[in-house]
């Protein structure tokens, strides 16, 4: 038996030690074990479970040109120029993660500038939401037959191919495996031990041979599920179900609402008819798969609630009405929530307030109401950014009472809650559960009143240390 001594968080209380054997927790309590690894200065939480992320994309973004925290279109162009200089011979460049709402004048990048900078290879700049991209002429030529929404003046595209860049610009297998290795280590460094992966078309083939310590439960976009699809579940990598888009994003003004966007006659659009959505759900149900529907706006949420059977998932669920919250609880529909969206865009003066009528803005991410009615919910990041600490911090410091939940509940949603909505049994430190845990520099309750985030010091997967921060 192995023991650690520390401030061990279990079901809302702190204990002094944890004992485990063969990757399973055998004991937890306050007695002093005979021999132990001394983590007494640290706070031990369950390993975080990100219920909605994009594993391969996250890894690829770690080796691609990052636009995180870019401050202007000029900053974006310069980052791409430097990346191209350092990565000669690239057949295409994908730069990901910009958010124009953080720019001084909210100006979008211009594809015409990319034409001048890169006349010979495709270049794609993708917004942080993943639903909007700016492309040069070379990229347009490769994607034009599939593009549905396109501004030809600045070469801005929305939805469609921008969500499936790997199909149009595939990396070689070696690059993908390298990206997945980097993603795995990055997740461990953030205290994440299991994920719900919203996969890509090539993920299943990679998962057939990818060796990892993570538990990965993946959902395949329905477009890639047909009679030729097959995947043999492994002990720690399992195919869970199908992913469907009912609407787009607030940033792209494509999330489907019952009201118009500010200074607009548009209210977003549903991406599928009721009959199309129902047909996909019936296929998944027949094959024993879970369906997860991306629905941000209240109109998309209403469509999902109309069709989804019990124990299936709605992703994001950002702007539900009071009636929709009640219906979700009554019908036992699960929800995967992204608390970092509050930190990114849900604050006073943020993008949601700039894009939406006041009545909608004030209803963004009403977690207190969701928890109160007993909806089964989990937290995820959607890669914006991948960080449970940032996500939990966002909801603990939320601007509206309707968003505010307790520290205990926030941690539960990023651990056991995420496990539950994938019908798994981890995310809690208790006997008989996996010994998946992370050691942090300080507890979340200090973070609420402090100005410095806790640090992940080490992460353990099935009792084995898989990350340790050098201090």
pLDDT for the residue numbered 257: 98
pLDDT for the residue numbered 163: 84
pTM here is 0.89
**Whole-angstrom Cα distance, residue 242 to residue 98?**
28
pLDDT tens string, the chain, 471 residues long: the values are: 999 999 999 988 999 999 999 999 999 999 888 899 999 999 999 999 999 999 999 999 898 899 988 999 999 999 999 999 998 888 999 999 899 988 988 899 999 999 999 999 999 999 988 889 999 999 999 999 989 889 888 899 988 888 888 889 888 899 999 999 999 999 999 999 999 999 999 999 999 999 999 999 999 999 999 988 999 999 999 999 999 999 999 998 999 999 999 999 999 999 999 999 999 999 999 999 999 999 999 999 999 999 999 999 999 999 999 999 999 999 999 999 999 999 999 999 999 999 999 999 999 999 999 999 999 999 999 999 999 999 999 998 899 999 999 989 999 999 999 999 999 989 999 999 999 999 999 988 776 655 677 899 999 999 999 999 976
pLDDT for the residue numbered 130: 84
**Whole-angstrom Cα distance, residue 367 to residue 345?**
16
pLDDT for the residue numbered 12: 86
Q: Among residues 356, 379, 364, which one has the least CA distance to residue 320?
A: 364
Q: Among residues 335, 338, 340, which one has the least CA distance to residue 292?
A: 335
Residues 46/428, Cβ–Cβ less than 8 Å = yes
C-alpha dist (Å) from residue 403 to 320, 339, 367, 392, 406: 12, 9, 5, 12, 10
**Residue carrying structure tokens 């709605």:** 314
> Is omega for the bond preceding 163 within 30 degrees of 0, making it cis?
no
Q: Which residues contact 452 (CB under 8 A, 6 or more apart)?
A: none
């Amino acid at each position: 038996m192995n023991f650690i001594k520390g401030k061990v968080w279990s079901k809302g209380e702190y204990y002094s030690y944890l004992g485990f054997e063969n990757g399973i927790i055998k004991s937890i309590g306050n007695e002093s074990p005979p021999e132990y690894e001394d983590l007494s200065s640290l706070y031990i939480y369950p390993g975080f479970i990100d219920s909605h992320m994009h594993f391969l994309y996250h890894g690829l973004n770690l080796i691609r040109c990052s636009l995180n925290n870019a401050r202007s279109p000029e900053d974006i162009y310069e980052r791409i120029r430097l990346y191209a200089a350092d990565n000669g011979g690239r057949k295409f460049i994908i730069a990901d993660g910009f958010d124009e709402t953080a720019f001084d004048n909210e100006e979008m990048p211009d594809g015409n500038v990319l034409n001048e900078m890169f006349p010979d290879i495709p270049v794609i700049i993708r917004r942080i939401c993943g639903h909007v991209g700016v492309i040069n002429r070379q990229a347009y030529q490769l994607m034009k037959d599939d593009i549905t929404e396109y501004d030809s003046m600045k070469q801005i595209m929305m939805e469609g191919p921008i969500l499936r860049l790997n199909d149009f610009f595939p990396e070689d297998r070696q690059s993908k495996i390298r990206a997945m290795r980097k993603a795995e280590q990055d997740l461990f460094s953030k205290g994440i031990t299991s994920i719900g992966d919203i996969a890509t078309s090539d993920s299943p083939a990679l998962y057939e041979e990818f060796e990892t310590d993570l538990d990965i439960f993946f959902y395949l976009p329905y477009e890639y599920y047909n009679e030729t699809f097959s995947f043999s579940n492994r002990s720690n990598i399992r195919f869970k179900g199908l992913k469907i888009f009912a609407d787009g994003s607030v940033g792209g003004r494509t999330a489907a609402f019952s009201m118009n966007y500010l200074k607009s006659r548009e209210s977003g659009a549903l991406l599928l008819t009721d009959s199309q959505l129902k047909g996909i759900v019936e296929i998944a149900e027949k094959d024993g798969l879970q369906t997860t529907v991306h629905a941000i706006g209240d109109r998309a949420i209403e469509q999902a609630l109309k069709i989804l059977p019990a124990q299936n998932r709605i992703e994001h669920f950002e702007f539900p009405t009071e009636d929709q919250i009640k219906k979700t609880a009554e019908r036992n529909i699960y929800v995967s929530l992204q608390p970092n969206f509050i930190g990114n865009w849900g604050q006073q003066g943020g993008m949601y307030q700039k894009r939406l009528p006041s009545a909608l803005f004030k209803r963004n991410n009403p977690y207190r109401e969701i928890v109160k009615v007993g909806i089964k919910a989990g937290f995820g990041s959607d890669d914006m950014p991948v960080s449970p600490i940032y996500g939990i911090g966002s909801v603990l410091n939320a601007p509206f009472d309707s968003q505010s939940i307790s520290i205990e509940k926030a941690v539960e949603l990023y651990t056991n809650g995420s496990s539950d909505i994938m019908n798994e049994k981890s995310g809690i430190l208790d006997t008989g559960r996996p010994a998946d845990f992370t050691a942090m520099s300080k507890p979340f309750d200090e973070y609420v009143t402090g100005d410095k985030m806790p640090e992940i010091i080490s992460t353990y997967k099935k009792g084995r240390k898989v990350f340790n921060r050098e201090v």
